[in-house]
Structure 1
Amino acid sequence: MTLASHLDNASAARVSTLIWGSPGVGKSAAIRHWAASRNLPCWTIIASLREPADFGGLPVVSRDHSGTGIEGVPAVSFAPPRFAIEAARRGGVIFLDELTTAPPAVQAALLRAVLDLAFGDLELDPARVTVIAAANPQSEAAGGWDLAAPLANRFVHHTYAVDPTAWVDAFPTYWGAAPELGFAGQTVDAAAWQRARLQVAAYIRSNPASLFALPKAASRQGQAWPSPRSWDFASRLLARVSAMGDEPASALSLLAGCVGEGPAAGFLAWLAAADLPDPEVLLADPDAYVHSNRGDISWAVLTAVAQAVIDRPTAPRWRAAWKVLGSAARAGGTDVATPAMQSLVAIRSAKLPLPKDFEAFFPIFEAVGIIASVGSNGKPTTGLPS
């Protein structure tokens, strides 16, 4: 079951979820992406940075007991934290990150919060608010603690393991939400970063074991090593260096500082040998496309062409992209061209109909029992989505 399906099911059943996974695999990003995709506000709370009173409530003395018939006697209320008040007003996800860094006293204060959505004297509506937590295994957490049995028993547990294939498919578009990079007037060109993400994804596609490799030696775990998070950082630095006009090889020290010397050197050697063409050159002259027998290279080229059209979809660029994809499919590259084909099909419209080159992918549809054709209007018929 996918993480998204798990979170959908658990939140509907009103059961809090704890996501386990090694550092750097993308647990936090995946949870925030799930919340955003459901239009849910998400408050990220690092439990280890909080006091027990932040969950159990801060004691506040009051003498106002209106309507009780008892006046002047001091009483203590437990005030909830601001994020709980905001969650009560808006609904959404309270995300308890890095849970295994929370000391026992904080874990004890979380017992009612996780089970009853109670923060101080405020109880949240379980129809509008859900609790999700994430944790590294205690042996991999920063100053980690084992979870107390009563707290662990309040969650449905899910192990999140990175899937290199899924990551390679999603990273070039950054899951549809790539942020703008820059600081103090210094920027990173968005197109350069997208190109760098494609290059990293193509490398991981052919070297999936390089996506995540937590060193076994504790002394090495505190240094640079490859993970989805550190490859993300590497792509940003590669984009910055490339946009400044420097050769990618000059970024070795920066990339090594993210993923380690061995993986960085391996990636740069692969990149130099790949010699990937500019997708804009192919869109200007689709006949210039030469299909490579190396699947990692052809996947990177075709994905870049499709993404370039998605970013700026005009009729001439649309037709040129399909001509490139059709050439790849007819040259025996249907398998590596299919992801790019699916991306383009997703944005088709009346102004961007499927062209004749789409027929090069019919063997795929025939293999799964779909008999298809393209009508005079350029749209697929008989079993394909319209």
Structure 2
Amino acid sequence: MSNTDVKISNIPVKDVGSLVEALSSAYCSMINNGCSMKLMPSVMLWGAPGVGKSQAVRQIAKEIEANTGKRTAVTDVRLLLFNPIDLRGIPTSNADKTLAVWLKPQIFQMDESDDVINLLFLDEISAAPQSVQAAAYQITLDRVVGEHKLPDNCIVIAAGNRITDKSVAFKMPKALANRLLHLEVQVNFDSWKSWAISAGVHPSVVSYLSFRQTALMCFDSSSEELAFATPRSWEMVSNLLNNVNGDAWKISSLIYGLIGMSAGIEFISWCKCYEKLPSMEDVFSGRFYEVPKEPDELYALTSAMTKYASEHKDDVEGLRNSILYANLFPPDFSVMLMKDYMSIEKNFTQTLLRIPEFSRWMQTKGALLNGTF
């Protein structure tokens, strides 16, 4: 069993998508019912480095905003960099110089307004020394540290790596562990792909990982390699392609530095498929090309079309033309493209259903979309 498959016994295992759905649903129910967030247990997310724990917290904040009408303010605290004094604050004298008082740390300067939900994210808690973890007792259970109290509109989520990951990790004291709601985060490609499409991850990254799904997460705690592929490092590769240079070969050394030489060389070789693709402007304007026959080119084509569609969501005629072109694809790739289209943004399926060609596609291939034949 590889270290990416190691599970922590006796706690639920969730991919990022189902984790976000479960927690955001619980939080939104409490918020919409007028409940105080102190009634919700503090959450502890366990998982390998780069698996998507931090990304999940950001997605939860967005879901809360979308479903409650409230603004979220995320405070990200890397406990590895803190000591107990940092959490309690700096002592000073009171006005009469007769007693010591503690200045409130910046992390506790939160907005208590009714239209705001604060989210305190205690990241790398398992990497913090036990003296700092002990200071987290009060935060997770009593929602206080010393004299400082968290407001009732504050959610507390902690995250850390497992000891089996052999990253910096201290064993969590049982007393602290019993104060938390524990969930383990593991990689699921379909969940990651849905997020990646809606988040604008570069199409070459999406298409390559669609073709080679096992390359999404290559963390191995027994390896001495410094650069390796994880959802986090692939997101950074995408950021380079989107913002530095879209030609992977020209920034190859930067890509190698994120995911390693072996994965990087294979990915850059894959990117050459894009040179063979038809013009997306032509496809969406109704000029159809011969459909590629090789699987790698079809993966690249569907990702390029999804990216173009996400940037032209209001071009109904263009979407219509692309669906007509997709009817020429092998059935499994046609289904893949429509699933990707529906992941572009929330409720985008309703937009597609207003296009007659999509409705006809659903009538003929909808059973394949649902995984039945």
TM-score, scaled relative to structure 2: 0.77
- Choose from 18, 21, 44 the match for 1:5: 21
Where 2:110 maps in the other structure, the secondary structure is helix
Match of 2:77 in 1: 45
Show CA shifts across 1:334-360 (max 9, x none). 32232244257717669x941345412
Provide the secondary structure at the position in 2 that maps to 1:255.
helix
Higher-RCO chain (CA-CA 8 Å, sequence separation at least 6) = 2
User: CA separation in 2, counterparts of 1:312 and 1:9?
Assistant: 30
Residues 348 and 354 of structure 1 are in contact (CA less than 8 Å); yes or no, is this contact kept in structure 2? no
Q: Give, in angstroms, the shift of residue 273 of structure 1.
A: 4.0
Max Rg structure:
1
Aligned to 2:284: 283
**Offset, 1:84:** 1.4
1: CA distance, partners of 2:278 / 2:184:
39
1:83 alignment partner in structure 2: 107
Q: Quick one: which of 36, 39, 55 aligns to 2:87?
A: 55
- Which residue type is aligned with residue 6 of structure 1? A
> How far apart are residue 5 of structure 1 and its match?
3.2
**Match runs of 1:51-200 below 5 Å:** 51-62=83-94, 74-88=98-112, 90-126=116-152, 128-140=153-165, 142-174=167-199, 197-200=202-205
Equivalent residues of 1:44, 1:96 under 8 A apart = yes
State the Cα distance separating 1:49 from its structure 2 match. 1.7
Name the residue aligned to 1:374: none
Q: State the one-letter code of the partner of 2:319.
A: A
Match of 1:325 among 298, 313, 323: 323
**Native 8 Å contact 1:18 1:134 kept in 2:** yes
1:289–1:324 Cα contact (<8 Å) kept: no
C-alpha separation between the residues in 2 aligned to 1:305 and 1:273?
A: 14
Q: CA deviation at 1:109?
A: 1.3
The CA RMSD over aligned residues, in Å, is 3.0
Q: Which amino acid aligns with 2:110?
A: E
**Is the 1:47–1:106 contact (alpha carbons within 8 Å) kept by the matching residues of 2?**
yes
> Aligned partners of 1:16, 1:10: CA distance in 2, in Å?
12
Change (3 A) 1:216 1:319: same
Tell me, yes or no, if the aligned pair for 1:171 and 1:198 is still in contact at 8 Å.
Answer: no
Q: Structure 1 residues 22 and 278, CA, compared in 2 at 3 Å: closer, same or farther? A: farther
**1:29: how far off?**
1.7
The alpha-carbon deviation at position 78 of structure 1 amounts to 3.7
Q: Secondary structure at the match of 2:292?
A: coil
**SS class of match (1:22):** coil
Q: Secondary structure at the match of 2:171?
A: coil
Aligned length: 331
Instruction: Note the residue ranges of structure 1 that are not aligned, 5 or more in a row.
Output: 65-71, 179-193, 370-386
Query: Normalising to structure 1: TM-score of the pair?
Result: 0.75
AA at the equivalent of 2:106: R
Give me the whole-angstrom Cα distance separating, in 2, the residues matched to 1:124 and 1:216. 36
CA contact (8 A) 2:126 2:171 kept: yes
Question: What's the secondary structure of 1:86's corresponding residue?
Answer: coil
Structure 1 residues 216 and 116: CA distance shift in structure 2, 3 A:
closer
Q: How high is the sequence identity, in percent, across the aligned residues?
A: 23
Cα 1:168–1:289 change in 2 (3 A) is farther
> Residues of 2 paired with 1:77 and 1:251: CA distance?
53
